[in-house]
Amino acid sequence: MIRDYEEAIDNVVAHLKIEHDIDVVFEDEELGAYYHDAKIIGINTNEALQEQLYVLLHEAGHAILKIEHKKYLETRDETLQSKLSLLREEMEAWKEGRTLAERMRIGINDGTWAMFCKQNLEDYIEWATS
């Protein structure tokens, strides 16, 4: 498993810049999001390094899949089909982030990853099914 989260984060940041021309901004007020038009990923530095890495991988998934990150709160009036589409995009970004970690040989604990994904998808699932 990961022994040095900072090194893994640095490697993902370099990969994103070189392969996808995506910049990563680390600030204590960031929400953890991919800003498609600006080609920037924001990461909250108040979070633990493991969480920063997992969020970075997820947002990288959005960038690699070219899916603009949309928060469900911004789309409250959408149809069920649109809600499910947004939920599917979120799930795909998590999957792509995990695939990126594998390609980069970043050892991720499957149980920890699954729990983190579940926690982050719960609000989307509740919103999409309400």
pLDDT by residue (tens digit) across 55-112?
999 999 999 998 765 655 455 556 777 778 888 889 999 999 999 999 999 999 999 9
Picking from 45, 37, 23, the residue whose alpha carbon sits closest to that of residue 69 is: 37
Whole-angstrom Cα distance, residue 130 to residue 11? 39
Q: Using alpha carbons, list the distances in angstroms from residue 53 to 40, 75, 86, 91, 93.
A: 15, 27, 23, 17, 14
At residue 76, the pLDDT reads 55
Residue 120, domain extent: 5-128
How many domains are there within the chain?
A: 1
**How many other β-carbons are positioned within 10 Å of the β-carbon of residue 123?**
13
Residue 2 is predicted with a pLDDT of 60
Q: What is the pLDDT of residues 26-56, one digit of tens each?
A: 999 988 999 989 999 999 999 999 999 999 9
pTM given for the model: 0.89
Q: What is the CATH number of the domain that holds 26?
A: 3.30.2010
